[in-house]
A and B are shown apart, each in its own frame.
Chain A
């Protein structure tokens, strides 16, 4: 079954609220048909406002246009845009049963009873909520509520599915289960989807592409790998995944830091600051940079060490060695020299 989707184009869509605060600076964004795009950023970065502009719940500032395929939908209200929405708070109607919630969109569209019942069955089966059909909404768990919300949004065959932090209200385990299900669902339906989250792991797992935002502006747009491996700037690097900071002086082909020195390949000298991912560093027997264990977290398959004394701030390093590390113990850390990223703020 493929419901397909529509390409979306935002042209200079900015949003300034009535009180003068600018939620989103004018941005351009193209979303291909069938693509899952994740808007990622901390709270207040404008990701939800961007989603609401696509949905038709907020009008962009004058000059901004929203297009679905070839159609300019900027002036079309949400009820005629044919979008499916899933909210963090579920937004299920408390006055209706599960089945009535799922069929609501079909009912207001005056879909004929036979077709409505068939589509309802299809949705209940797809989201595996058939046995909940007569339940009252407040008799459902969080995970069940979100399944019902998804079924309700998809029942009307929307041209685009918009998800606003759909998993944030759920506990960690359930979040993983539902994330995998949503991912499979989006692939199977080939539906254009815009997913808003502040959780970078969720963004990496779900997004064909990720739009990293902060303070109402787009910081970087790219595939998860690009975002992770070649972050455009310091904000992206530090928001997505963990980053270590190394501050020192570059001279004579080496970067000298408190804990020793590493080869330096950039043609910049003097005081510098570079970033690297924890997985690009390894704990070695001898050599490398020397530091002291501040704390050690045993995670089962590996141990996460917080090491001080190498740079001016503690570094996070992971090791799969079975050795036990004690606070205060001396460790040697080797860093892959081409893992060092020099990024603008």
Chain B
């Protein structure tokens, strides 16, 4: 096939797109190279090193592990609370459940700072709680729970949940058997998408966590702000690199989970 002649408008658009992309990508590249060069002000010619990454690990190891622990704990709470909540909301469709659904979204609509402030006002004087990582966990659960509920609810609303359950019940399945054997497997996609979303949000959440944290309970983004504010630029940039490599796999995971499920073995369509 003969290559189609491109119009001038095409090249103009291409140039514009490349320019915009470059505008966005260049800072990322700068940031990464800054984290890997010996001296940022002398540029790449000063040599590449992983020293700063090691430094970040030495200084912020606790922050990184705490952040991951909070993210996983947050995921656990969201699974235990969010999935059954979505199930109940999907089953009992009424004006009340709609209200609950809307109320659940409030922590997203309200600025994180406001939520954090409210938590501090209410529980800040409870010292053991205020200084424990559980304080941050509460904030993160408030913020991420709606994402889990929404993701699962979306899947549950797209299948004929009631009839599926009635079918299972007619075959002798108890509530627990129906829930584990029919309901959960059929909203696996939603649970997976919700789980990745929750972990990503928890790892990346800054503005609420910045209010909630104490010097001993810092998460990744708070540590990042701290390193930019108090360390040399290379360490802050190296921190970005670490952050990057933690969050990117999660984002890719979300993309994969959000893809429409390919039905098993479509290729083997037999007669």
- Interface positions of A (Cβ within 8 A of B): 55, 57, 77-80, 82-85, 87, 89, 91-95, 104-105, 108-109, 131, 134, 136, 138-139, 152-153, 156, 162
Chain B residues near A138 (CB-CB < 8 A)? 263
In the bound complex, residues from chain B placing their C-beta under 8 Å from that of A80 are 172
Contact among A93, A108, A131, A162 for B164, CB-based, below 8 A: A93
In contact, B163 and A153 (Cβ under 8 angstroms): no
Given the interface pairs A93-B182, A136-B263, A139-B266, the reply to whether A85 lies near B160 with Cβ below 8 Å is no
**Chain A: CB-nearest residue to B188:** A95
Closest 4 CB pairs of A and B: A105-B171, A91-B167, A85-B170, A95-B185
B215 an interface residue at 8 Å Cβ cutoff?
A: no
What 0/1 pattern do residues 256 to 270 of B give for CB contact below 8 A with A?
000000011110011
Q: Which residues of chain A are near B264, meaning CB under 8 Å?
A: 136
Q: Which of B28-36, B44-52, B173-181, B199-207 contacts A (4 or more CB under 8 A)?
A: B173-181
- Report whether A108 and B171 are in contact in the complex, using a CB–CB cutoff of 8 Å: yes
Q: B172: which A residues are within 8 A, CB to CB?
A: 79-80, 82, 105, 108-109, 156
User: Pick the contact of B186 from A78, A93, A131, A136 — CB < 8 Å?
Assistant: A93
B170 touches A94 (CB 8 A): no
Instruction: Give complex CA distance A87, B173 in Å.
Output: 17
Known A-B contacts A95-B185, A136-B263, A136-B264; the reply to A104 vs B270 at CB < 8 A is no
Nearest opposing residue in chain A for B170, CB measure: A85
- B170 contacts A153, C-beta separation under 8 Å: yes
Which one, B166, B181, B270, contacts A91 given CB within 8 A? B166
Interchain CA distance A92-B263 in the complex, whole Å: 15
Q: Which residues of B contact A162 (CB under 8 A)?
A: 170
- Taking CB atoms, residues of chain A closer than 8 Å to B233 are none
Would you call B163 and A89 a contact (CB within 8 A)? Answer: yes
Q: Please, which residues of chain B bring their CB within 8 A of the CB of A136?
A: 263-265
Return the contact of B160 from the options A83, A89, A95 (Cβ within 8 A).
A89
Q: B146-174: contact bitstring with A at CB < 8 Å (1 yes, 0 no)?
A: 00000000000001100110111111111
CB-CB < 8 A to A153: which residues of B?
170-171
Q: Tally chain B residues at the interface, Cβ within 8 Å.
A: 25
B265 to chain A, nearest CB (A): 7
Number of A-B contacts defined by CB within 8 Å: 76
Q: State whether B166 touches A87 (Cβ < 8 A).
A: yes
Q: Check if A79 sits within 8 Å of B173, measured CB to CB.
A: yes
CB distance from A186 to the nearest CB of B (A): 17
B192 CB, nearest partner CB in chain A, Å: 14
Q: Are B166 and A78 in contact (CB under 8 A)?
A: yes
**How far is B240's CA from A115's CA once the two chains are assembled, in angstroms?**
60
B185: nearest chain-A partner, CB-CB: A95
Q: Please measure, in the bound complex, the distance between the C-alpha atom of A87 and the C-alpha atom of B165, giving whole angstroms.
A: 12
Kindly provide the distance from the CB of B119 to the nearest chain A CB, expressed in whole angstroms.
39
B237-271 CB contacts (< 8 Å) to partner A: 263-266, 269-270
**Are A85 and B186 neighbours in the complex by a CB distance under 8 Å?**
no
Could you jot down 22 A-B contacts, CB within 8 Å? A78-B170, A79-B169, A79-B173, A85-B170, A89-B163, A91-B160, A91-B166, A93-B168, A93-B182, A94-B159, A95-B182, A95-B185, A95-B188, A105-B171, A108-B171, A108-B172, A109-B172, A138-B263, A139-B266, A139-B269, A152-B167, A153-B171
Q: How far is the CA of A78 from the CA of B178 in the complex (A)?
A: 13
Q: A94-B159, A139-B269, A156-B172 are in contact. Are A108 and B177 (CB under 8 A)?
A: yes
Contact call B166/A57, Cβ cutoff below 8 A: yes
A94 in contact with B269 (CB, 8 Å):
no
Known A79-B174, A87-B167; further 8 A-B contacts with Cβ < 8 A: A79-B172, A85-B166, A87-B163, A91-B166, A94-B159, A104-B171, A108-B174, A109-B172
Q: Looking across the interface, which residue of chain B has its beta carbon closest to that of A137?
A: B263
Query: In the complex the two chains form, is B173's CB within 8 Å of A84's CB?
Result: no
Closest chain B residue to A57, Cβ basis: B166
Residue of B nearest to A105 (CB): B171
Docked CA distance A92–B188 (Å):
17
Q: In the complex, A13→B270 CA distance in Å?
A: 48
Find out whether the CB atom of B263 lies under 8 angstroms from the CB atom of A84: no
Question: A91 touching B263 by the CB < 8 A rule?
Answer: no
CA distance in complex: A84, B185 (Å):
23
**How far, in whole Å, are A275 and B257 apart by their CA atoms in the complex?**
63
How many angstroms between the C-alpha atoms of A339 and B266 in the bound complex? 58
Q: Is the CB of A85 within 8 A of B167?
A: yes
Interfacial chain B residues near A78, Cβ < 8 Å: 166, 169-170
Q: Is the beta-carbon distance between A156 and B171 smaller than 8 angstroms? A: yes
Closest chain A residue, CB of each to CB of B184: A95
Which of chain B's residues have a CB closer than 8 A to the CB of A77?
A: 169
Q: Which residues of the other chain, A, contact B163 by a CB distance below 8 angstroms?
A: 87, 89, 91
Name the CB-closest residue of A to B177.
A108
Q: Which residue of B lies closest to A80 (CB)?
A: B172
Most buried by A among B168, B171, B181: B171
A55 and B172 CA atoms in complex are apart in Å by: 12
CB B173 to nearest CB in A, in angstroms, measures 4
- The complex places the Cα of A139 from the Cα of B172 at a distance, in Å, of 26
The closest CB in chain A to the CB of B182 belongs to A93
CA distance A339 to B181 in the complex (A): 58
By a CB distance below 8 angstroms, the chain A residues around B269 are: 139
User: Which residues on B sit within 8 Å (CB–CB) of A139?
Assistant: 263, 265-266, 269
In the complex formed, the residue of B with least CB distance to A134 is B265
A82 to B170: give the CA distance in the assembly, Å: 7
Does B166 contact A108, Cβ atoms closer than 8 Å? no
- Indicate the member of A79, A84, A162 with the most B CB atoms within 10 Å: A79
- Whose C-beta in chain B lies nearest to the C-beta of A85? B170
- Bound together, the chains give a CA A89 to CA B166 distance in angstroms of 12
Q: Smallest Cβ distance from B3 to chain A, in angstroms?
A: 40
